[in-house]
Amino acid sequence: MDSGARALRGGRAHGKMQAFIFSVAFMYRIGIDLGGTKIELVALAGDGEVRLRQRVPTPQGDYAGTLDAIAALVRGAEAEIGGDYTVGIGTPGAPSQSGGRMKNCNSTCLNGQPFQADIEALLQRPVRLANDANCFTLSEAIDGAGKDARAVFGVILGTGVGGGMVLEGRLWQGANHIAGEWGHMPLPLPEASDLPLPGCYCGRHGCVEAYLSGPALQAQYAAQTGLTATPAEIATLAEGNAQCAMAVLETYERRLGRALAQVVNLFDPEVIVLGGGLSNLARLYRTLPEYMAPHVFSDTVLTRIVPPLHGDSSGVRGAAWLWAPVTG
Ligand SMILES: [Zn+2]
């Protein structure tokens, strides 16, 4: 090949690469967070920048209305910003591996419905689904608090307790789509004060969620004091040395430390990112390493426990990132 032909060939290759970079840079990823009260949309540019954000109320108890609301949001975004789109949806539950009908949705009319097939038919394109905890973890692993880690475990501590696993930028959903669902594992090493094992909505007793959800923390405080307080108020009371608040939070943190140690023993993430309402309790990041370490099967524990970077936006961002190249 003479130098002219080589230059021509090189120029073509360069042009193709430029076109590829152009198409990736200008491709939008639409993420939908389907919640019990609202449906949120973001359109992320190739660099993760939010180009559009919208939200509408979730039609209550109305499956067809929910599908229509999602489709209207996507079409509205397409009309507003133009370009190529992928669509990922964060849902409260997950499609069953037998037949694709939804399961484990705690607050919607999706259970038993072929949601993925229906929304794909409406939008005329493939759509990726993951539960909200998985979307949170993916978002924080790709460009959030776990950005530089190879193994990230995301924890939701809110109305419920959930989790997700991302390995080298790839969401690991598992054979049954329950990877990371540590909220319905039994609380390890129950102490006298942890008994009797509390019932859980899933039908089991002694689930981590039954001890560590926000409502569980509030119920424990109410049982001790007869008073109603939010987790944030309990933390404020503890800062003021209110004995009951301090004791309730310490018990909570000891339980959480033991439960997270099980996660570390099994998955050994470099980073655990906390999410959900209770992740706002700043003291958790100080106290948890000390409570977790004695139960980890290692003389040193390098796993970092960190707050989320994207906060409440992580779920919808992660839904968009379901179409990141590494998850394909
Ligand atoms: Zn349970």
CA of 297 relative to ligand 1 center, distance in Å: 25
CA of 153 relative to ligand 1 center, distance in Å: 19
Predicted local distance difference test score (pLDDT) of residue 9: 47
CA of 186 relative to ligand 1 center, distance in Å: 8
- The answer to whether the beta carbons of residues 231 and 218 sit under 8 Å apart is yes
- pLDDT tens profile 172-200: 989 888 899 999 999 999 999 999 999 99
What is the pLDDT confidence band of residue 276, given thresholds at 50, 70 and 90? very high
Distances (CA, A) of 76 to 42, 55, 81: 12, 11, 9
CA of 208 relative to ligand 1 center, distance in Å: 7
- Mean of per-residue pLDDT scores for the chain: 89
pLDDT at residue 89 tops 70: yes
Predicted local distance difference test score (pLDDT) of residue 214: 96
CA of 206 relative to ligand 1 center, distance in Å: 7
Q: Could you tell me the two tokens for 232? A: 């944030």
What is the pLDDT confidence band of residue 106, given thresholds at 50, 70 and 90? low
CA of 162 relative to ligand 1 center, distance in Å: 10
For 265-292, what is the mean pLDDT?
Answer: 97
Query: Residue 154: enclosing H or E segment and its boundaries?
Result: strand 151-157
CA of 209 relative to ligand 1 center, distance in Å: 6
Q: Say what the pTM is.
A: 0.86
| CA angle (274 as vertex; 273, 275 as ends), nearest 5 | 120
pLDDT at residue 154 tops 70: yes
CA of 157 relative to ligand 1 center, distance in Å: 14
What is the pLDDT confidence band of residue 108, given thresholds at 50, 70 and 90? low
Q: Would you mind telling me the total number of residues written for the chain in this entry?
A: 328
